[in-house]
Structure 1
Amino acid sequence: MLSIGFWELVARAILRNRITILVGIIAITVLLGLQWKNVKFTQTEANLIPADDKVNVDYNTFLQNFGEEGNLIVVATKDQKLFTPKVFTAWTALMEKVRNDKQISLVISINNLQELVKNDTLQSFQLKPFVNPQKANDALYLQNLKKKLFQNQPFYEGLLYNKNTGAVRSAIYLDKKIVNTKARKDYVLHTFIPYLDTFYKETGIRLHASGMPYIRTLNSKTIIDEIGLFIGAALLVTALIFFFFFRSFRATLISMVVVIIGVMWSFGIMGGMGYEITVLTALVPTLVIVIGIPNCIFFINKYHQEYYKHANKAKALQRVITKTGTATLMTNITTAVGFATFIITNNVLLREFGVVTTINILAIYILSLLLIPIFFSYIPAPIPRHLGHLERESLTSFFTWIVNTVKYNRFGVYVTSIVLLIFGIIGIYEIKISGSIIEDMPKKTAFFDDIRFFEKEFDGVMPLEIMIDTKRKNGAMKLSTLRRMEDLEQTISDIPELSKPLSIVNLAKSFKQAYYNGNAEYYELPTSQEEAFLLPYIKNSLKNGKDNQLKSYITSDGKIARMTCFIKDENGEKMEEIESRLRTKINKIFPEPKYEVIITGKPSVFQKGTKYLLDNLLSSLLFAFALTGGLVALMFRSFKMVMVSIIPNLLPLLMTAGLMGFLGIPLKPSTLLVFGIAFGMSVDDTLRFLAQYRMELSRNGWRIRKAVFATFEDAGISMFYTSIVLFFGFSVFMLSSFGGTVALGGLVAITLSFGMLSNLVLLPSLVLTLNKKLANKQEFIEPTIDILEHTDEELDALEENKDQK
């Protein structure tokens, strides 16, 4: 138990050692500032699934055999002027510059396209340039070249051109070694994008660019740019609200100093722990501001209340700590618990977010506890204007309405709560789980428009990979295996959400076409008779050439084949249904244990990761409920109080979930975080109210009704102020260009608003109803943990005893 005596010692230690404490805070800030150099933005993609999960094991098996699949950048245009001498020359120059960069491993473009031709002497297929560069200035030649591409190169349909719309693109493969490094970002931002800008200046044609390396780079750049926006906006909004409440520049200034130091510490803590800035940890500095300001409000409001009573500044400062020490500590712990629940998930991304936020919440509490009393000890006492907020008419009217509602219309409160509960439950059944990788990306950016362009013209840029292990050498090259794969490709073609697949089947067909002198009518699998004389050509081709296309779709021993198709991101939520359909076909044509077939790729991993996250966060939310209930049980040793603490905080979560269902907001990583964050913050008000209520019981002769309404006069104002700050603080995230961050900020703000009303209306109603039989102090068992705000009489008695000694 943290007794009065303990907080008395803390208060004296703080006020008697002000200089030492300030020097210590400065030293810690400097030390953490030295860690800023270690803060880096992550260069890898967020993976929500544990490393040992089968989904990740399958994906890593694919990467081991075929390398990084997310290294493709695509550039395209639909402009018909591409096949004119000036533009085609500029296009060729652009692609040659790209191809010559050391960060690029391969470029497949019309200007450097190679077509297969047979060499009977060597019994091999050879690659011959598709374009004659000496004729590239001939307009008629270029028009014939376009016809030849569209009519006689079926292998490249869907890969390099769209026959129906005339769209043409190039495929640029980054060196796989730099895909997850800073070199990728530097290349895309400082080399590749300037190339595109130069092309635009020369031709007037703005090219479309996309692909996972390109998307990831511009997406992460936007995240980094928004960190400063969030911090600045949060400081501005909270400062304005704070000043509006307290009408004091001095109070506003110290609050800003506290949270700014907290932000500096947050970066230092991340750097010191070696954590990279991810899409989640990027929110931590702003969360420090949003969570830190309510701490400042509570301490400063309590200081003003104490000074208003007896006009003794020293006594008021000491009473701020001694009367509220444990209560404020416990409310900050419950906030930290809301974030700490992420630590128990088996996911590095969430675990790091949980660790960093938990540490920073406790750090900002300590800063508030130390700096606010010290600051006010050096400045003059509050003047009447600073205390005017305690009797503001608009605030008084609001609380009068709440008190009257609780007094005279509790039945209406319960009916409304039940209706809202039903609303939430019905809405929950309407919620969908998002499988979209790009849904949370900034929709008002050029690179998002480019994503939609490629989805329309080339059925997306998100690869779905199928890996077929025949478990025998050269098994993937046998005609029987190729026919099975062709059968599977037909199933893929029948699924409208998927693009035309690319595999060794397409290559085998192009080999046959090449064998028959490039006649497109022979673009088909060889017959059994043709296999015998085609096989030597194929095997010799696999041996020759450093970067031939065959090696991208089959392992060097011929055991494992790869099949790639693309899926539009908007169809990510259908991934489970698509995989089920594919698996049904795969089980028929590739029976186990003769074959092993893996379906993987980034869209598949992301969709499964979202489901995994949902399962884990539901578990962690239940853990948060249990932990909060346990804390309340320790504090009050009353099952009734456990129920009273949980119900008002569960209802807002259900209402928000219902709202998401009715508004069509899907469950995705960003929106799933809402519930854990909002619960951890909302339960603070519950504990604050119950702590004050317990004290008012003893003050008012254990008369329940009088104690409940007396609680409004003290705790109600702080609960209202902090809820308003939290609402506008989280609303800052709605300035983001990321849909997920907007959803997170808006939904948390709405949930906390529901939570405030629930804690001010439903909570006291439940207290009055469930505890109406309480007749005397003995029926209210002494708590295990004393979080009560101690009375003036208790503190005066303690001080008298010490003076006598």
Structure 2
Amino acid sequence: MNHLKPAFLVRFSVEHPWFVITAAALITLLAIIPMTQLKVESDVESLLPRYSIEQSKKQELEYMAEYDRLAILVKGEKLFTLEGLSRFSELVSLLDSELEAVEVIDPFSMVTLEKTGSRLRGVMMSSTGTAPVTAEDLTLFLQKLNNDPFSRGLITSKDGKALAAYFLVPKGRPYLEEDTVIRSITNDFADTLDITVTGSIPFSAETERYLTKDALRLMAFVVVTILLSYYLGFRSRRAMILPVVLVITGTAWSLGFMALMGWKLSMVSIVSPPLVLTLGSSYSIHILSEYYRIPMVGNNKRKQIIEAVTGVSGTIVMASITTITGLLSLLLATMPQTRQFALSTSVGVAATALLSLSLFPAFLSLQRPIAETKINKVNSDILSRGLKIAAPFLVR
């Protein structure tokens, strides 16, 4: 494994720490700039396959991918009155206008069949295509609504106590923005109508909210876990802070790469940042374990750091190669989001491995040598004693 040890990189980092730190900071800054523009892909329909399906189904999926759907169900004690239907019609009109829907299906404009002599002709449920204005129009509308066999379960509920409307909306507008508009409009009618909203727009908006929350929670949980683990293992502030700085930097490079490629955080790639944090932190464990094993004094500090990091560098390189190889096997997946996850996580793992062999020793070279008493304390605590007892049984 000696040929995998980047001794020159480690030595250069220890001898020129400020150059390495400055270079890493500049690259991180360049990664953060596009990272701030990274968006969340909450459209679940983007996960639908586009390959290896029949042409007719493929065309249908492509059509579906161009539009979002919104459905509203309205109930109310006075819904089937002139005033209630007028409010419902106003609600439909406002949503149609604000969402710029390309198609709307509602109880007023829906076409039904009417017998004229010996012929059937298509007519709208409401003669004007909007809410009835007179009592006579209301009676005729309700009669058509009750007699039409296709309306039940489509624009009216099965019990006949609710009405529904459907909107086909072009994609492109942010889901959270559309959801805010929908909530604002429906809230204005909540005093007289009981409104339920469903469809791809509210679903995708809610997905985006949860993805954003979950990403932050996952990353916070991972960082706290790393901090506690390193403190319990090495009883040192530098052992807590330096690995976290390392993996956060690698994660920033990974997210910056995603942004530069024009990708979005999807329900698949949302786990990439916490995964990079977790995988990258393991490389620091190898270095710190070796670093704490050797007592260091002022005269031989740099030499001992180089020996400690170089000694485990082969393990770090091999571990990162095997991890990246496993991730890149996902490039064979059909879903583009899976391939994006594989590449972005691979970049993050490679970045943390590189930083652990360059930035980490650069930081260590600027630190004061660890007191021998602290090394003895770490090597003799309950965790170390337990591992020493278990080690002979584990290696057999």
TM tier, smaller: 0.7 to 0.9
C-alpha distance in 2, partners of 1:185/1:93? Answer: 23
C-alpha distance in 1, partners of 2:87/2:177? Answer: 20
Give 1:352's match in structure 2, choosing from 340, 353, 374: 340
Query: Which blocks of at least 5 consecutive residues in structure 2 are unaligned?
Result: none
Query: Which blocks of at least 5 consecutive residues in structure 1 are unaligned?
Result: 404-708, 713-759, 766-805
Whether 1:313 aligns to 2:301 is: yes
The structure with the largest alpha-carbon Rg is 1
C-alpha distance in 2, partners of 1:68/1:273? Answer: 22
C-alpha distance in 2, partners of 1:234/1:124? Answer: 66
Cross-structure match for 2:165 = 170
Contact preservation (8 Å) 2:72, 2:164: yes
Give 2:326's match in structure 1, choosing from 321, 330, 338: 338
Residue 110 of structure 1 aligns with an amino acid whose one-letter code is P
Cross-structure match for 1:375 = 363
Cross-structure match for 1:326 = 314
Three-state SS of the structure 2 residue aligned to 1:240 is: helix
C-alpha distance in 2, partners of 1:117/1:315? Answer: 94
Three-state SS of the structure 2 residue aligned to 1:53 is: coil
Cross-structure match for 2:175 = 185
Contact preservation (8 Å) 1:40, 1:276: yes
Contact preservation (8 Å) 2:113, 2:120: no
Structure 2 counterparts to residues 514-593 of structure 1, below 5 A: none
Cross-structure match for 1:28 = 27
C-alpha distance in 2, partners of 1:372/1:355? Answer: 24
Residue 380 of structure 2 aligns with an amino acid whose one-letter code is E
Contact preservation (8 Å) 1:303, 1:317: yes
C-alpha distance in 2, partners of 1:194/1:262? Answer: 41
Give 1:366's match in structure 2, choosing from 354, 358, 366: 354
Query: What is the CA-CA distance between 1:329 and the residue it aligns to?
Result: 0.8
Gap change, CA 1:21 and 1:68, over 3 Å in 2 = closer
Three-state SS of the structure 2 residue aligned to 1:263 is: helix
Structure 2 counterparts to residues 646-665 of structure 1, below 5 A: none
Cross-structure match for 1:61 = 59
Whether 1:396 aligns to 2:396 is: no
Three-state SS of the structure 1 residue aligned to 2:248 is: helix
C-alpha distance in 1, partners of 2:36/2:52? Answer: 34
Structure 2 counterparts to residues 463-502 of structure 1, below 5 A: none
Structure 2 counterparts to residues 206-285 of structure 1, below 5 A: 206-285=194-273
Contact preservation (8 Å) 1:239, 1:252: yes
Query: What is the CA-CA distance between 1:43 and the residue it aligns to?
Result: 6.3
C-alpha distance in 2, partners of 1:53/1:150? Answer: 43
Query: What is the CA-CA distance between 1:41 and the residue it aligns to?
Result: 2.8
Contact preservation (8 Å) 2:13, 2:359: no
C-alpha distance in 1, partners of 2:177/2:149? Answer: 33
Between the aligned residues of both structures, percent identity stands at: 20
C-alpha distance in 2, partners of 1:311/1:251? Answer: 22
C-alpha distance in 2, partners of 1:399/1:162? Answer: 70
Contact preservation (8 Å) 2:9, 2:357: no
Cross-structure match for 1:301 = 289
Under a length normalisation based on structure 2, what TM-score does the superposition of the two structures give?
A: 0.85
Query: What is the CA-CA distance between 1:214 and the residue it aligns to?
Result: 2.9
Query: What is the CA-CA distance between 1:239 and the residue it aligns to?
Result: 1.5
Query: What is the CA-CA distance between 1:13 and the residue it aligns to?
Result: 1.6
Residue 105 of structure 2 aligns with an amino acid whose one-letter code is I
Query: What is the CA-CA distance between 1:124 and the residue it aligns to?
Result: 6.2
Three-state SS of the structure 2 residue aligned to 1:74 is: strand
C-alpha distance in 1, partners of 2:113/2:177? Answer: 32
Three-state SS of the structure 2 residue aligned to 1:134 is: coil
Query: What is the CA-CA distance between 1:338 and the residue it aligns to?
Result: 2.4
- CA deviations 1:738-771 (Å, max 9, x no partner) are xxxxxxxxxxxxxxxxxxxxxx4xxx44xxxxxx
Gap change, CA 1:230 and 1:387, over 3 Å in 2 = farther
C-alpha distance in 2, partners of 1:132/1:26? Answer: 64
Whether 1:93 aligns to 2:93 is: no
Structure 2 counterparts to residues 619-698 of structure 1, below 5 A: none
Gap change, CA 1:248 and 1:60, over 3 Å in 2 = same
Contact preservation (8 Å) 1:94, 1:195: yes
C-alpha distance in 2, partners of 1:339/1:21? Answer: 28
Cross-structure match for 2:47 = 47
Residue 267 of structure 2 aligns with an amino acid whose one-letter code is V
Query: What is the CA-CA distance between 1:116 and the residue it aligns to?
Result: 4.4
- CA deviations 1:610-662 (Å, max 9, x no partner) are xxxxxxxxxxxxxxxxxxxxxxxxxxxxxxxxxxxxxxxxxxxxxxxxxxxxx
Cross-structure match for 1:157 = 152
Query: What is the CA-CA distance between 1:292 and the residue it aligns to?
Result: 1.8
C-alpha distance in 1, partners of 2:151/2:222? Answer: 51
Residue 56 of structure 2 aligns with an amino acid whose one-letter code is D
Gap change, CA 1:61 and 1:326, over 3 Å in 2 = same
Query: What is the CA-CA distance between 1:378 and the residue it aligns to?
Result: 1.1
C-alpha distance in 1, partners of 2:334/2:109? Answer: 47
C-alpha distance in 1, partners of 2:69/2:210? Answer: 21
How many residues are paired up? 391
Query: What is the CA-CA distance between 1:398 and the residue it aligns to?
Result: 5.8
Structure 2 counterparts to residues 372-451 of structure 1, below 5 A: 372-383=360-371, 384-385=373-374, 388-397=377-386, 400=389, 402=390
Three-state SS of the structure 2 residue aligned to 1:285 is: helix
C-alpha distance in 2, partners of 1:63/1:322? Answer: 53
Query: What is the CA-CA distance between 1:346 and the residue it aligns to?
Result: 3.8
Query: What is the CA-CA distance between 1:112 and the residue it aligns to?
Result: 4.6
Three-state SS of the structure 1 residue aligned to 2:370 is: coil
Cross-structure match for 2:14 = 15
Three-state SS of the structure 1 residue aligned to 2:201 is: helix
Query: What is the CA-CA distance between 1:394 and the residue it aligns to?
Result: 4.6
- CA deviations 1:79-125 (Å, max 9, x no partner) are 444335654443232112112236212222235555444789x9964
Query: What is the CA-CA distance between 1:186 and the residue it aligns to?
Result: 5.4
Name which structure has the greater RCO, CA cutoff 8 Å, separation 6+: 2
Query: What is the CA-CA distance between 1:317 and the residue it aligns to?
Result: 0.7
Query: What is the CA-CA distance between 1:293 and the residue it aligns to?
Result: 1.6
C-alpha distance in 2, partners of 1:32/1:68? Answer: 31
Residue 153 of structure 1 aligns with an amino acid whose one-letter code is D
Under a length normalisation based on structure 1, what TM-score does the superposition of the two structures give?
A: 0.44
C-alpha distance in 1, partners of 2:281/2:174? Answer: 39
C-alpha distance in 1, partners of 2:297/2:111? Answer: 88
Three-state SS of the structure 2 residue aligned to 1:104 is: coil
Query: What is the CA-CA distance between 1:283 and the residue it aligns to?
Result: 1.6
Contact preservation (8 Å) 1:300, 1:372: no
Contact preservation (8 Å) 1:230, 1:286: yes
Gap change, CA 1:130 and 1:32, over 3 Å in 2 = closer
Query: What is the CA-CA distance between 1:261 and the residue it aligns to?
Result: 1.3
Gap change, CA 1:369 and 1:190, over 3 Å in 2 = same
RMSD of the alignment, in Å?
3.4
C-alpha distance in 2, partners of 1:320/1:275? Answer: 39
Three-state SS of the structure 1 residue aligned to 2:156 is: coil
Query: What is the CA-CA distance between 1:263 and the residue it aligns to?
Result: 2.2
Cross-structure match for 1:735 = none
Residue 389 of structure 1 aligns with an amino acid whose one-letter code is V
- CA deviations 1:222-265 (Å, max 9, x no partner) are 21333222222322232123222222112211122112212221
Query: What is the CA-CA distance between 1:308 and the residue it aligns to?
Result: 7.5
